Amino acid sequence: MKKTIFYVDEPKYQELSKVLSSSEISQYERVRGTVFLHSKEYVVHSAISEPPHQGWARLWGHEVVELSQYEGTLMPLRQKDHRCEVDFGRRERGYAGQIVDHGKRQLVMTGQEIEFRSSGTGQQISLF
């Protein structure tokens, strides 16, 4: 499967970084927030830091849709049921098809994982 990478300007990358929700998803089945990009809504569930970057070097997430609007092929499941299906070999490892809460909304992560990287544009340069 071909990997999808979105290069975003630095302000959008910082916005994505602020909604990183890995622990919230695993512990509470919720996300800190969502970000709109190219008219689609995304959650960020994973990140990695690499020197010399300050903050996150790369982020990963999924597009999300309202549970009532979900038309994917996977049955939407909460994390516990999702993990059981993965453990029994009936579902691929990952986040696709998993339900998370965002406020009063129920969202389903859909499609393949997206990698977000900063394009480095839009940064304010510090001279001193």
pLDDT score at 123: 57
CA 51 to chain centre: 22
The closest alpha carbon to 109, from 51, 65, 68, 53, belongs to 65
Digit-by-digit pLDDT tens for the chain (128 residues) are 578 999 999 999 999 999 999 999 999 999 999 999 999 999 999 999 877 767 888 999 999 999 999 999 999 999 999 999 999 999 999 999 999 999 999 999 999 999 999 988 765 544 44
Q: Which two tokens stand for residue 31?
A: 């996300």
Place of tokens 């990698």: 115
Model confidence over 61-86: pLDDT tens digits? 999 999 999 999 999 999 999 999 99
pLDDT score at 128: 41
Q: What is the pTM of this model?
A: 0.87
